[in-house]
Amino acid sequence: MRTNNLVRLAFLPLALVVAACAPMAGPERTTTVESVDVERYLGTWYEVASIKQFFSVGLVNSTAEYSLLPNGNIRVFNSGNYFSADGPRSEIIGSAVPVDSTNSRLNVSFTGFNSAEPPGNYWVVDLDPDYQWAIVSNPGGDTGFILSRTKQISDELRAELLQRAADAGVDTSRMTVTEQF
């Protein structure tokens, strides 16, 4: 239990730094989907590839769980393990607030403070019509996540999603596979 608390304590300042830097994204490179049906987007997503941030290097079994909060915002619960399936656990809870009526651009914060001010730092740049995969970035395209409803995807689908991410303006040159055990 002590290891979990240490990981959480170590992760919190890192999340604060990331949240503080999010509004400083460069010029918009990415595009977003026309709209996102929040009800369909809720639930568990497995990270199958990402542009690693300094706090996520070494994370495996990474998931994002989205649920609706009573105030209409979205609860974000990110978790994973460092280095192996039984490695130290990392967990953080935040919230997401849409910045416009399309729900394709949101502000995600893990600091407890969030706003609906554009442009947002979580952009859904591509989305399967059946909500089985999603590609998420930020306006500058320097963050990126390929999410799936399943732990594993085929090499062919991964290649297709990487190309779709690049086509949407995501810098895929730094994207790596996230192991799911």
pLDDT of residue 20: 36
Q: Are 68 and 42 in contact (CB under 8 A)?
A: yes
Instruction: Report residue 23's pLDDT band, with 50, 70 and 90 as the boundaries.
Output: very low
pLDDT of residue 28: 86
Q: Kindly provide the residue ranges of all beta strands, DSSP E only, lying in 23-162, ordered along the sequence.
A: 43-51, 59-68, 74-82, 89-98, 105-109, 122-127, 133-137, 144-148
What is the spatial distance between Cα 158 and Cα 128, in angstroms, rounded to a whole number?
Answer: 13
Rounded to an integer, the average pLDDT of 119-128 is 97
- pLDDT per residue as tens digits for the range 50-105: 999 988 999 999 999 999 999 999 999 999 999 999 999 999 999 999 999 999 99
50 Cβ partners below 8 Å, 6+ apart?
A: 56, 62, 144, 145, 146, 175, 176, 178
Instruction: Report residue 26's pLDDT band, with 50, 70 and 90 as the boundaries.
Output: low
